[in-house]
Structure 1
Amino acid sequence: MLQELFEDIGGKFISTIEDINTKNNQIKAYLFDWDGVFNNGEKSGNEGSPFNEADSMGTNLLRFSYWLKNDNLPIVGILSGEKNQNALNWSNRESIHSCYFKCGNKSIAFEHFLKNNHLKASEVAYFFDDVLDLKVAELVGLRIFLPRKNNPLFNQFVIRKELADYCCSTHGGDFAIREAVELLIAMNNNFDEVITNRMNYSTEYKNYINLRNSGMVEYYSLINQEISRMEI
């Protein structure tokens, strides 16, 4: 039923839904690329790289779902090859744990993310879209791919090399994150509970959001092939 629902809108299960569910149960952290994931990657000068509120709400609901299931907060990070002011602002607004920017070699940043948060690679779910992300996708436990129809050979490469577990029905900026997080929330077996609590702004939700907002985002960048803490 769940698989059919997502396949009907164009989603593709590269791994079996059973395997994805098993991997999801091991996840302790959600890591997102920015360009091409929260947006379509379009830029003009210093502008561009926005996000939409539907995707942002989705990430919050996913974190709430995890909190309800595990009674603790998941680790959340942004891992970007560029410096995007919208990503920096969103990271602060949403009180995520880590925002990595200007990381041309994402593997170095990923190793820092793991060590800094006492994580195993298998405990990370990664949302990604392009070549720069593939080494990290090869390492993580759960891979969510946001494909573009206009790079069919790359899409085939990702699937052929088994670098994705689930391919979204659409590209970044077209609510693909919302699609993916709804799938993961459903696998947490608490979708209705999540929506109902948020709808009613329940005591449980208020406890969650107060705890979530008590954290401070840490910013990092790759300088001379080393990760450095940055003040923003």
Structure 2
Amino acid sequence: MSEPTYKLTVLISGNGTNLQALINACASSALPSTRIIRVISNRKSAYGLTRAAAASIPTTYHNLIPYKKQHPDTPAGISAARSAYDADLAALILADAPSLAVCAGWMHILAPSFLAPLAAAGVPVINLHPALPGEFAGAGAIERAWEAFRKGEIKRTGIMIHEVIAEVDAGRAIVVEEVEMREGETLEELEKRMHKVEHGLIVEGTRRALKEIGERREKERGEGEGEGEGEGR
């Protein structure tokens, strides 16, 4: 197998339907010359690990509980445990030298001890969030949007793929798609429609992020060649 141009590390916590969309895209022209090199889950029972194994993708289970056991059950202790957990998660990812880390249903807020090492290594991190920019940050976004629609506060919600920064769900949006709300629709029906949109958007957001990485590589290569020519004169 030839070396892919782009390598992905995918972080999951659950069923892994968005992971499956990425697996399928890597096997098609949707994400050419791209391979998922590892799937990491913070939940041992996540079905996404089974999906990864079926696609012969290496998997790692990385859970916060052992870190909490090493620290006192105080706000400072919990903070220290999370910081150590995230630092080890960053080291685990960087050991594989991926081009991009994709949070595809990853239910853990990433701390600066994770983000700083990846930024220093030039590895962007993107996330799927089932809401529009600036709306319903954090957990339960679909349910909160559904409740807001019932109260007449909104007429649409949406999904975005965005860069991950320290502030939750507040990084630059890479791609956004609105989803219209429907009168009389149950929460379960809305969730089902949202998930269908997610499967396409996670692929498109990843494609765009990789395109930006490719453009940056070309720019750096061009600058390097230009410096070399200058030194030879």
Q: TM-score, normalised by structure 2?
A: 0.44
Q: Which has the greater radius of gyration?
A: 2
